[in-house]
Amino acid sequence: MSEKNKISRREFLSYSAMAGAIGALGVTPLLSACSDDKGGKNAALRDAGSVYIPELPDKAVDGKPLKAGLIGCGGRGTGAAQDFLNAADNVTVVALGDVFPDRVENARKELKEKHNIEIAAENCFVGFDAYQKVIDSGVDVVIIATPPLFRPTHFKYATEKGVHSFLEKPIAVDPEGYRMIMATAKQANAKGLCVVTGTQRHHQRAHVESFKKIVLDGMIGEITGGNVYWNQSMLWYKTRQPGWSDMEWMIRDWVNWKAMSGDHIVEQHVHNIDVFLWFSGYKPVSATGFGSRQRRITGDQYDNFSIDFVCDNGVHFHSMSRQIDGCSNNVSEFLQGTKGTWESGGGGSGACVIKDLAGNVLWQYDLEAEKAAHQQNNPYVLEHVNWISCIRQGTPIMQAEETAVSNLAAIMGRESAYTGKTVTWDEISAASLNYMPEKLELGPMDMGKYTVPVPGEAKKAYPETKDKSLVDEFNRLMSSPRCRFVPELVEVGDPRDRRRLLKLIKRGGPNPYGDESDRRNVAGYNDA
C-alpha cells in the first residue's frame, strides 16, 4: 500500500482541533515486550504531531470550580453525572433536565444519596425544552445523555451559549444529525470550547498504549484489514404501559427504536467501528451488508448485522454485531498488519496483544500493573478526567467530529443492511434521511413509519395465477416479517397467517416454489 493511498482521520475531516495537540500518558509504561522487530525496522504509520494522545491520571488537574448540568436523566445520564463528580475535585452538578419528571427525581435522589449533592427544585426542568433551561441556568459544562436522536440539537444549543459539552455516544442517528454535529463542532472549535464524547476506548489506557505501539511505533506494519465485534445478549426493553402515548413509549423504550437509538450498530457497535478508523486513519467509502430481526421484543430495529466496509485505499474490514440471548458473545477488535496482528480481546484474556505473523507475542498490555499503579481505572471516569483537565488547562479538544465520522460509517452500514444495497460515503453524507419527528410532544405518532426494514424485493406471485385477490393476499403474506424462506421450505411464524397461506395455495393461488408438485414444500401443507 503506497503512501499516497493512505489518508489520516485528520485529513478526512476538513478541520481538526486536535492537530498538533499531543501529550504523553501521565503513567508509568505498563508494557511487557518480547521483540519489536523481526522483519526490518518498524516505521510509524503517522507523524506524532498529527495524532492526539490524552493524559490519563487518576484525577483531573486542579483548577477553577465547574458547575455541570445534566440533560437526560436516565441510567446512563445519571451514571455520567457521577463519573464527572468522581473525575475531579471542586466540581458539582447544579441542574437537571429530562422529558419525564420521574427521571429527574430519580437522578436528583441518587446524586443526593451517593454524593450529598442537593439540587434546587428551581433547577430541575421537565419537557422537550428542558435542555435549553439547563444550559441557560448558569452552568459551565453540560453532559448530554438524552436518547441519541436529540443530541445534535442539544449540542448545537450548548455551543451557541458557549458551554463545554460532553456528548454520550452515539452523537447522531441520521445524516441530518451528522451534518449538524460537524457544523456545530466547527463553531465550538472557533469558540475554544472543549468537547469530549463517550467513546471510552479513547480513554482506556490499554487501547491508548496499543495505539502508540501500532501507530507511532509501527509494530504491526501497515494495516491491511480487520474485524470488529459487538456480539452480546439482548438489552433491556420497556413494555408499553397504560396511559403511555406513542411518543412516550418510544422515548422510554428508546434503545429498541431506530429513530431514537440509530439501531444497535450505531448505538453500541460504533465503539468497535471507531477503533478501526481511529487506529488505521483510513477513510470509509462504502458498506455492503445485511442484518435481520429474529428475537427483539419491542421497537422496529434489527438484532444482528454483518457489514463489509471498504476504505478509500481498498482495505476492507468486517463488522459483526448481535443482541440475542443464548449465543456466543464477543466484544473486541482485531487488526491485521503487514508485520503482525493486534487484538483487544487477547484471545479471551481481556488484554490487548500484539503478535508477529507467526503468532508469537511481541507485546501485551499489563492489566495488573495498571491496577497497581492507579486508583482510577474506569474509562467512563477517565473520559471526564481528560475533559475537565482540558477545560482547566485551556487545551483545545474536539472529539465530536471524529466520533461523527465513525457514527456515519455505522449509519452507512445500517442503511446497507436495511436496503440490501451497497451504500457509499458520498451518498450517505448527502442523504436527506432525518428521523426527527415534525412535532415534539408526548402524543400520538404515525406508527406506520416505524416498521422493521425489509431489504430487497418480495417473492412475486407467478403469472399463471389469474385471481388478483389471491395474488394480493399472497404478496402480503410473503412480505410479512414473520414469513421466511429456508432451503426447500417456507415458514410463516404467525399461525393465522400460516393457515391463510396454506388455504390460499390449495385454492389455486400462487406457490412460492412454482408448480403443483412443490406445494408440499410449504410447511404444514398437508395439515391445512
Question: What's the CATH number where 124 sits?
Answer: 3.40.50.720
105 in the same domain as 20: yes
394 in the same domain as 491: no
| Whether the Cβ atoms of residue 184 and residue 398 lie closer than 8 Å to each other | no
- d(C-alpha 181, C-alpha 229), whole Å: 26
Written as nine digits, the cell of 129 is 425544552
The residue length of the chain stands at 528
Given this model, what pLDDT does residue 462 score? 46
- d(C-alpha 503, C-alpha 363), whole Å: 65
Tell me if 521 is assigned to some domain: yes
Given this model, what pLDDT does residue 189 score? 96
Q: Calculate the dihedral angle through the C-alpha atoms of 468, 471, 472, 475, rounding to the nearest 10 degrees.
A: -160
170 in the same domain as 59: yes
Q: Could you report the average pLDDT of every consecutive run of 10 residues in the chain (528 residues)?
A: 43 36 33 45 91 95 98 97 98 98 98 97 98 98 98 98 98 98 98 97 96 98 98 96 96 97 98 98 97 95 98 97 97 97 78 96 95 96 98 96 98 98 98 96 93 84 53 64 46 58 57 44 46
518 in the same domain as 380: no
Burial of 450 (0-12, 13-18, 19+ CB in 10 A): middle
496 in the same domain as 392: no
- d(C-alpha 25, C-alpha 281), whole Å: 21
Tell me if 146 is assigned to some domain: yes
- d(C-alpha 259, C-alpha 435), whole Å: 5
- d(C-alpha 273, C-alpha 404), whole Å: 12
Residue 520 lies in domain: 468-527
137-157 as b/e, with b when 16 or more CB fall inside 10 Å? bebbbbbbbbbbbbbbbbbbb
Tell me if 441 is assigned to some domain: no
482 in the same domain as 396: no
Tell me if 497 is assigned to some domain: yes
Question: Could you tell me the end-to-end alpha-carbon distance of the chain, in angstroms, rounded to an integer?
Answer: 61
53 in the same domain as 142: yes
Tell me if 16 is assigned to some domain: yes
Given this model, what pLDDT does residue 469 score? 66
Tell me if 316 is assigned to some domain: no
394 in the same domain as 484: no
Q: What CA–CA distances, in Å, run from 501 to 191, 342, 486, 505?
A: 63, 51, 16, 6
In the chain, how many domains are there? 2
477 in the same domain as 386: no
Tell me if 127 is assigned to some domain: yes
* Residue indicated by cell numbers 417473492: 459
Given this model, what pLDDT does residue 458 score? 75
- Rounded to two decimals, what is the model's pTM? 0.83
Tell me if 511 is assigned to some domain: yes
515 in the same domain as 388: no
Given this model, what pLDDT does residue 508 score? 53
| Whether the Cβ atoms of residue 171 and residue 150 lie closer than 8 Å to each other | no
501 in the same domain as 393: no
Q: What does the angle CA 246 – CA 454 – CA 450 come to, to the nearest 5 degrees? A: 10
- d(C-alpha 75, C-alpha 125), whole Å: 17
396 in the same domain as 472: no
